Amino acid sequence: MKSCRGVGASLSEEELARWDAEHRELLARIAPDHFNIRHYAALSLLQKK
């Protein structure tokens, strides 16, 4: 989540620290100790005309 351009790239250091603390609190409440993170990737092959 932190690497999303709407989070890590757009927040100040102080805002990012607050976001990180809130995110960790949320995960502590709603997520099990261990869980899988499913990833999705898309690839586009561009060719110059």
* Reported pTM: 0.59
What is the model's pLDDT at position 14? 94
pLDDT of residue 47: 92
For residue 41, the SS3 value is coil
Q: 29 pLDDT exceeds 90? A: yes
Comparison of pLDDT for 6 and 10, the residue scoring more: 10
- Domain extent for 9: 1-32
User: Residue 15 domain-assigned?
Assistant: yes
Asked whether the predicted pLDDT for residue 5 surpasses 80, the reply is no
Instruction: Note the pLDDT of residue 26.
Output: 94
Residue with tokens 């261990």: 34
Q: Is residue 38 part of a domain?
A: no
Helix (H, G, I), strand (E, B) or coil at 46: coil
Q: Residue 42 domain-assigned?
A: no
Please report whether residue 40 resides in a domain.
no
Q: How many domains does the chain have?
A: 1
Q: What's the mean pLDDT in 33-47?
A: 88
User: Do the domain assignments include residue 3?
Assistant: yes
